[in-house]
Structure 1
Amino acid sequence: MTTALFQPIQLGKLALKNRIVMPPMTRSRATQPGNVANQMMADYYAQRASAGLIVAEGTQISPNGQGYAWTPGIYSQEQIAGWKQVTDAVHANEGKIFAQLWHVGRVTHPDNIGGEQPISSSAHAAKNVKVFIDNGTDAPGFVDVVEPRAMTKADIDQVVAQYRQAALNAIEAGFDGIELHAANGYLINQFIDSEANLRTDEYGGSTENRLRFMSEVVAAMADAIGADRVGVRLAPFTSLNGTVDATPSETYIAAATMLNKHKVVYIHFAEVDWDDAPETPAEFKPAIRAAYQGVLIYAGRYNHEKAVQAIEAGVTDMVGFGRPFVANPDLPNRIKKGYPLAPHNPDTLFGGNEQGLTDYPQYCPS
């Protein structure tokens, strides 16, 4: 039953041992000050190196790109060195790991970005969205986001350059590749989705225009490190952090077609994964498969039976298991052997120490 998940697969120049992906999950445990990846995080990822591919947690490409307190960056030499600890630990356990490069755009607060005003595609605040701050004086907590300013062409060029440099930094830090975070309502997504992008220049209006910023970012990163080390994460049907597209199937099939031209190594689709969420339309996945010739990854509400069915049906090549990896560092072995899965403690997901991060044990059959 589980055989399909344990077939090897080629990802660019990488030979992956199985088709199980640990997707990016924010855990907010970077060392302060400086938002630096640390030994605790290295232990966490090394424990989970039996995944075919790990995509590390969202990592901001610049100080202005940070949305939440205590998330790691990849723009300083100290941060690069911190991530090198992580990648060395994963590689020592024969794992493969990509960095997820992240700019949150409007999904932040001035307290997280040195008092600056956030930037976005448009001067349009996300509604009913809160972010976690630590301003150094009050108790850390959640606050409403503020209205961003619309990015100028100079801002766009600067952020494209920051993504390019972050990709180079990720390779310097030992990552096997990078994933562009273009999902879940963050900056790239704020350009893609029609209800968040109110621009009237070459970056707004038509689908082609709304995809232009992502295309420029991908081109810059592929030029820097090679398209075979660049993946992209998309979330067509979610409304996370206030981004909604009027015609998501049309928009994201166009996105897949564009990414195919750039020859990115994979597209990673985040499906809606909350209770009563709308299902992905039946015709969408075959259309994506037709539009894009690289490796496809889907994540969201998958158990191993659904994952096997999706791979055997040909709609995906790999499957991400998010929450199950939190409490099950040996998840691939548990799936393979049919061992029970441990539940995670929701109170220790964000911030804190090793508790709820590295203290979940492997399964020991009695």
Structure 2
Amino acid sequence: MSRLFTPVQVGRYTLPNRFVMAPMTRSRADDHGVQSELAVTYYAQRADAGLIVTEGVFPDAAGKGYVRTPGIATEAQVEAWKLVTAAVHARGGRIFMQLMHAGRISHPSMQPDGRLPVAPSAIKPAGQAWTDQGQQDFVTPRALSTDEVALVIEDYRQATRRALEAGFDGVELHGASGYLPEQFLSSGTNHRDDQYGGPIANRARFMLDTLRAMVEQAGSDRVGLKISPEMNFNDIVDANPQETYTYLVEQLKPLGLAYLHVAPYSKEVDYHALLRPRFDGAYLIGGGLDQASAEAALADGRADATVFGSAFLANPDLPQRFRQGAPLNTPDRATFFAPGAAGYIDYPALTTAEIA
């Protein structure tokens, strides 16, 4: 039997298969960060995954980085997410919420009262933000004070509580893609001189303290972490990524996290060989996988489960298609972040005849 279709233990849950749906920004929420009814259908369609991880969800209004992205900071947002989790659970699925604070990768037009985005240091990123007025240059963010860092960590704690209230099976910290946790972790974006800056032990403190806060709310077996060494997205750079990520993952051991999702971008360094032996929970890998490469990763022990992004986006019945050897739908990139149902909930599933 294909290992993709065998059960796997991830934290407190025995998942029926080793398919994980990756967190993917889809920008279908309203201007208040309230998830749309379309999202109920979207996630329920994909509930055959062993585990769904939602798109990035801002824990507090200051964490919003893109237009039409959802939050978990208000009662209205919680109530909208309850419909999503109920629909996934009705189909026998499991779903974690990814908590994502964009930090400096935002714009005043998306911030409360038009304020500056926050960051570990006042360093302007290269590039542009997607706003309702089109693309606009990033601005120089405001550096968080030491006291404010504690408040942001508390935001993650409360967001975890609200995610559980909304019916989620667990939460994932987005520690990649140049967003706030990685901004603290990376030497190029963190020039602080307090306990959250300087040597790697200090730069990793924000991510580790945030994970501890999330674990205190949810239990370690319902918390995961995503990292992407050397992705360098959103103008993120670290002077010694191998040292940085080795240290970070070694510090995760006492936390007992449910899983670590690693999607590295280096062609020179085998980060899976470097990091997997240092992590005791379920090890998830992603990044451009197809059926053959996923099977190979499971067969040679490089992963416990495999993460699929655009393949799940365009194929709500991806496990069934793999099982049948059926062709895959092609993702329509023009609709990835566009409002409405097109390219969101209208990708066709296999017909009864095709399944037979």
Shorter chain as denominator, the TM-score bin is over 0.9
Aligned to 2:331: 344
Task: State the one-letter code of the partner of 1:281.
Answer: V
Q: Decide which of 300, 304, 309 is 2:296's aligned counterpart.
A: 309
**Root-mean-square deviation over aligned CA pairs:** 1.2
Are the equivalent residues in 1 in contact too, given 2:321–2:350 (CA < 8 A)?
yes
Aligned to 1:110: 108
Q: TM-score, normalised by structure 2?
A: 0.96
Q: TM-score, normalised by structure 1?
A: 0.94
1:25 matches 2:18: no
CA distance in 1, matches of 2:135, 2:89: 36
Alignment of 1:61-140 (within 5 A): 61-114=59-112, 115-127=114-126, 129-134=127-132, 140=133
CA distance in 2, matches of 1:332, 1:255: 33
Deviation at 1:351, TM superposition (A): 2.7
CA distance in 2, matches of 1:22, 1:280: 27
Deviation at 1:38, TM superposition (A): 2.3
After superposition, give the CA deviation of every residue in 1:164-196 in whole Å (9 maximum; x if it has no partner). 000000000000000001100000000111111
Are the equivalent residues in 1 in contact too, given 2:11–2:282 (CA < 8 A)?
no
Q: Decide which of 231, 235, 256 is 1:238's aligned counterpart.
A: 231
Q: Decide which of 175, 186, 192 is 2:168's aligned counterpart.
A: 175
Deviation at 1:325, TM superposition (A): 0.9
Deviation at 1:297, TM superposition (A): 0.8
Are the equivalent residues in 1 in contact too, given 2:20–2:306 (CA < 8 A)?
yes
Aligned to 1:275: none
Runs of 4 or more above 3 Å deviation: none
Deviation at 1:245, TM superposition (A): 1.2
CA distance in 1, matches of 2:211, 2:54: 19
Are the equivalent residues in 2 in contact too, given 1:285–1:315 (CA < 8 A)?
yes
% same residue: 42
Deviates more, 1:348-357 or 1:97-106: 348-357
Q: Decide which of 328, 331, 341 is 2:318's aligned counterpart.
A: 331
After superposition, give the CA deviation of every residue in 1:64-106 in whole Å (9 maximum; x if it has no partner). 1000111000010000000000000000111100000011000
Deviation at 1:280, TM superposition (A): 5.9
Are the equivalent residues in 2 in contact too, given 1:99–1:175 (CA < 8 A)?
yes
Unaligned runs of 5+ in 1: 135-139, 273-277
Task: State the one-letter code of the partner of 2:294.
Answer: A
Aligned to 1:358: 345
Alignment of 1:39-58 (within 5 A): 39-58=37-56
Task: State the one-letter code of the partner of 1:126.
Answer: P
Number of residue equivalences? 352
After superposition, give the CA deviation of every residue in 1:312-347 in whole Å (9 maximum; x if it has no partner). 111111111101111100001111111111101111
CA distance in 2, matches of 1:265, 1:258: 14
CA distance in 2, matches of 1:279, 1:336: 30
Aligned to 1:148: 141
CA distance in 1, matches of 2:199, 2:298: 34
Unaligned runs of 5+ in 2: none
Task: State the one-letter code of the partner of 1:83.
Answer: W
Task: State the one-letter code of the partner of 2:295.
Answer: V
CA distance in 2, matches of 1:233, 1:62: 19
